[in-house]
Amino acid sequence: MPEYLDQEITYLPGVGPKRAELLNKELRIFSFRDLLYYFPYKYIDRTKFHRIAEVNANQAYIQVKGKVRTFEVLGDRRKQRLNAVFYDETGSMELVWFKGVKYIRESLKLEQTYVAFGKPSVFNGRVNIIHPEMEDEHSEQFKTGVLQAFYNTTETLKKRFLNTRAINKLQFNLLQSLGGKIYETLPPQVKEPLKLMALNEALKQVHFPENTRSLHNATFRLKFEELFYIQLKIVSLKHKRYDVFKGFVFSQVGFNFNKFYEDNLPFELTGAQKKVIREIRKDLGSGKQMNRLLQGDVGSGKTLVALMVALIAFDNGYQASLMAPTEILAIQHFNTIRKMVQGLGINMALLTGSTKTKERKLIHEQLESGELQLLVGTHALIEDTVNFKKLGLVIIDEQHRFGVAQRAKLWKKNTGVPPHVLVMTATPIPRTLAMTLYGDLDVSVIDELPPGRKPIDTRHFFENRRKQVYGFIRKQVDAGRQVYMVYPLISESEKLDLKNLEDGYELMKEVFPRYKISMVHGRMKPAEKDAEMQLFKEGKTQIMVATTVIEVGVDVPNASVMVIESAERFGLSQLHQLRGRVGRGAEQSFCLLMSSYKISNESRKRLETMVRTNDGFEIAEVDLQLRGPGDLEGTQQSGLGFDLKIANLGKDGEILRIARDMANDILDEDPRLEQEKNKLLLYHLSKMKNTEFNWSIIS
Q: Examine residue 296 and state whether it is found in any structural domain, yes or no.
A: yes
Predicted confidence (pLDDT) per residue in 576-596, tens digit: 888 888 887 778 999 999 998
Cα–Cα distances (Å) from 464 to 140, 459, 468, 592, 594, in that order, read: 61, 14, 9, 14, 10
pLDDT, position 265: 87
Q: What is the torsional sign of CA 282, 286, 288, 289?
A: positive
pLDDT of 637 higher than 50: no
pLDDT bucket at 276, cuts 50 / 70 / 90: very high
Share of the chain above pLDDT 70, in %: 88
Cα–Cα distances (Å) from 9 to 36, 174, 204, 207, 430, in that order, read: 10, 10, 18, 18, 38
pTM (2 decimals)?
Answer: 0.66
pLDDT of 316 higher than 90: yes
Residues 37 and 102 in one domain: no
pLDDT bucket at 697, cuts 50 / 70 / 90: very low
pLDDT of 1 higher than 80: no
Q: Examine residue 33 and state whether it is found in any structural domain, yes or no.
A: yes
Q: Examine residue 131 and state whether it is found in any structural domain, yes or no.
A: yes
Quote the number of domains for the chain.
4
Q: How far apart are the first and last CA of the chain?
A: 37
pLDDT, position 293: 86
Predicted confidence (pLDDT) per residue in 665-674, tens digit: 999 899 888 8
Residues 347 and 424 in one domain: yes
Q: Among 613, 631, 648, where does a domain finish?
A: 613
pLDDT bucket at 691, cuts 50 / 70 / 90: very low
Higher pLDDT, 606 or 436: 606
DSSP output for 145-192: -SEEEE----HHHHHTT--HHHHHHHHHHHHHHHTT-PPP-S-HHHHH
Beta strand residue intervals within 475-571, DSSP E: 482-486, 517-520, 543-546, 559-564
Residues 177 and 307 in one domain: no
Q: Examine residue 670 and state whether it is found in any structural domain, yes or no.
A: no
Q: Examine residue 628 and state whether it is found in any structural domain, yes or no.
A: no
Q: Among 143, 171, 195, where does a domain finish?
A: 143
Lowest mean pLDDT among 537-546, 552-561, 638-647: 638-647
Residues 53 and 134 in one domain: yes
User: Residue 497 sits in a domain of what CATH number?
Assistant: 3.40.50.300
Residues 300 and 414 in one domain: yes
pLDDT bucket at 495, cuts 50 / 70 / 90: very low
Q: Among 580, 598, 613, where does a domain finish?
A: 613
Contact yes or no for 461/610 (Cβ under 8 A): no
- Expressed as residue numbers, the domain containing 267 is 255-446
Q: Examine residue 694 and state whether it is found in any structural domain, yes or no.
A: no
Higher pLDDT, 431 or 16: 16
Name all contacts of 518-525 with Cβ < 8 Å and 24+ positions apart.
518/543, 518/544, 518/545, 518/546, 519/544, 519/545, 519/546, 520/544, 520/545, 520/546, 520/547, 520/549, 520/550, 521/490, 521/546, 521/547, 521/549, 522/490, 522/547, 522/549, 523/490
Q: Which residues on neighbouring strands pair with residue 421, listed in sequence order?
A: 291, 394
pLDDT, position 600: 85
The 3 state secondary structure assigned to 81-99 is: EEEEEEEECCEEEEEEECC
pLDDT, position 685: 86
Residues 6+ away with beta carbon under 8 Å from 467: none
Residues 594 and 607 in one domain: yes
Provide mean pLDDT across the span 513-529.
Answer: 85
pLDDT, position 680: 92
Lowest mean pLDDT among 392-401, 502-511, 578-587: 392-401
Residues 18 and 165 in one domain: yes
Residues 571 and 486 in one domain: yes
pLDDT of 43 higher than 70: yes
CA 462 to chain CA centroid, Å, is 29
Residues 30 and 138 in one domain: no
Mean pLDDT of the chain: 84
Q: Examine residue 683 and state whether it is found in any structural domain, yes or no.
A: no
User: Residue 112 sits in a domain of what CATH number?
Assistant: 2.40.50.140
Helix/strand/coil percent split, the chain, to 5: 45, 20, 35
pLDDT bucket at 105, cuts 50 / 70 / 90: confident
Predicted confidence (pLDDT) per residue in 61-101, tens digit: 888 989 999 998 888 777 888 889 999 999 999 999 888 78
Q: Is 190 exposed, middle or buried (0-12, 13-18, 19+ CB in 10 A)?
A: buried
Residues 95 and 25 in one domain: no
pLDDT of 183 higher than 70: yes
Higher pLDDT, 276 or 408: 276
DSSP 613: -
Q: Which of 23-27, 123-127, 140-144 has the highest mean pLDDT?
A: 23-27
Residues 118 and 165 in one domain: no
Q: Examine residue 624 and state whether it is found in any structural domain, yes or no.
A: no
User: Residue 149 sits in a domain of what CATH number?
Assistant: 1.10.150
pLDDT, position 440: 64
Residues 16 and 154 in one domain: yes
pLDDT of 303 higher than 70: yes
pLDDT, position 413: 67
pLDDT, position 635: 35
pLDDT of 133 higher than 70: yes
